Amino acid sequence: MTPLTDIGQLAEHYDLVVVGAGPAGLSAAARAAELGLIVLLVDENPTPGGQIYRAITTTPVKDRAVLGEDYWRGSSIVGRFERAKAAYAPGCTVWSLGPDEGEPGTFEIGLSLGGKARMIAASQAILTTGAQERPFPIPGWTLPGVMTAGAAQIALKGAGIVPVGRTVIAGCGPLLYLLASQLAAAGAEIVAVLDTTPKRNWTKALAAFPDFLRSPYLAKGLQLMAQTRRRLHFVSNVTGLAAAGEGRLASVTVERKGAAETIVCDTLLLHQGVIPGVNLTNAAGCEHFFDNEQHCWVPKLDRWFASSVPGIAIAGDGAGIGGAESAALRGEIAAFDAARRLGRLTKPERDRKAAPVRAELERRLRGRRFLDLLYKPAPQFLAPKDETIVCRCEEVTAGQIRDAARRLGVTGPNQMKAFLRCGMGPCQGRLCGPTVVELIAEVRGRTPAEIGYYRLRPPVKPVTLAELAALPQTEASVEAVVR
């Protein structure tokens, strides 16, 4: 497999375009190519793997114990894709996806690669854009020295870099334990792990505990928790956090049991779970709904991960959080159905081939509901204090959002754009959208589902005017401008 590095190397049309080279995208592309489809896999990163297997082919971290065996399993997924006859365009940004009006039944996809833009056609698309970290806005989170846990993982996997000085990790979710374990093994000085998991969540999660007992992750999860807690200083039942410093982070104030303490630190890593990345799927017109258990927006899909837009499937954690192993299996299932839609498989053939994959997926997802209920973030972290910056792009505070909802009668995030520009910056609402919805819901006395989410339109990622101007033009379009 030779990666495509120039926009001119792309074909005009593919049977299937897969967006995202994480475990779901790699598996979907490999399976589809094995079934005889002409496949293109595009990804923004320079190497395959996504977030969970980031830099699996290039990481400078050679001690396998640092990142753990789960990380190194990504090598086999990448290896399978490399053996498949699929085209691969790394460093390629997808900024639009919609129906091709000139050729009904196909999609027109806007891509940028090597500083040039191009539109290509696809009969089917599988979107495997994965998850993003749920925004965790606290006072002072914009200070240098404060970053997300995911960003720290990127630095570790991609460049072997660990935070220098006293490091504090704060938040909730399984990744908190994994990151703490990985950074400690890599030599980071972790002075505290601050657990914000609400105590009452245990009661809500108990009903789902029997399924978790049968989960393949139970023994592994308990072992990781026990090892990490023995090795590091954990502080539980944290109800408030604030970062402070002049020009950069100097300390974090921790509230618990009605008291506050200050921890001097050089780096603060924040994390309160992951949610599906919905910007591209939203902009493509796919229907979404609010999942109360995962407490986030997820696309509406059938059992083959087909969306409400015929011809577009969504797999991996972008279809709902399930983890790396389930992501790969979801990608395969979506590929089987894409092959059926394109006439390469009959329905009985699709069903027979997918049956063992589906059975393994059900096993892998067993116990997921327990984790979703247990690690649901506390309300005060979903809707932060007034002085907290929520929209980092436009520097809009939680207080301004509450005030607009209360005094100006703003009822949803799209209307909020007109007043405060939330969601109009470079991130296109990725870092503020969930929090804006929570704040409006709080003021209006409604649920996030009733408030709704941003209406997103292309381009879903920044694209330069030079790239757009250099798009290949048809004779008809040139003539229309000239005349």
pLDDT of residue 341: 97
67 and 166 assigned to the same domain:
no
Q: What's the average pLDDT block by block, 10 residues per block, for the chain (483 residues)?
A: 90 97 98 98 96 94 92 95 96 95 90 94 97 96 96 95 96 92 95 96 91 84 88 95 97 96 98 96 96 96 97 97 95 98 97 98 92 94 96 95 95 93 89 96 96 93 87 66 60
Cα 186 from Cα 184, distance rounded (Å): 5
Choose the final residue of a domain: 251, 272, 293. Answer: 272
Q: Same domain, yes or no, for 69 and 185? A: no
- State which H helix or E strand residue 223 sits in: helix 218-231
Structural domain including 400 reads: 383-451
Report whether the peptide linkage leading into residue 276 is cis, meaning its omega lies within 30 degrees of zero.
no
CB atoms under 10 Å from CB of 357, counted, come to: 18
Distance (Å, whole) CA 253 – CA 242: 5
Spatial contact of 317 and 24, defined as CB atoms under 8 Å apart? yes
DSSP H helices, 245-307, are 279-283
How many beta carbons lie within 10 A of that of residue 189, not counting itself? Answer: 15
pLDDT in tens, 220-264: 888 888 889 999 999 999 999 999 999 999 999 999 999 999 999
Residue 306 lies in a domain: yes
Q: Is the dihedral of CA 302, 304, 309, 312 positive or negative?
A: positive
pLDDT for the residue 249: 98
Do 426 and 337 lie in one domain? The reply is: no
Do 32 and 62 have their domain in common? yes
Half-sphere exposure of 324 (CA within 13 A, CB side): 20
In one letter, which amino acid is 191?
A: V
Neighbours of 248 (CB within 10 A): 11
Q: Which CATH number does the domain housing residue 445 bear? A: 1.10.10
∠ at Cα 246 (245, 250), nearest 5°?
30
Q: Is 376 within the bounds of a domain?
A: no
Longest dimension (CA), the chain: 75
Q: Are 295 and 274 in contact (CB under 8 A)?
A: no
Q: Check: CB of residue 125 under 8 Å from CB of residue 16.
A: yes
Number of structural domains (the chain) is 3
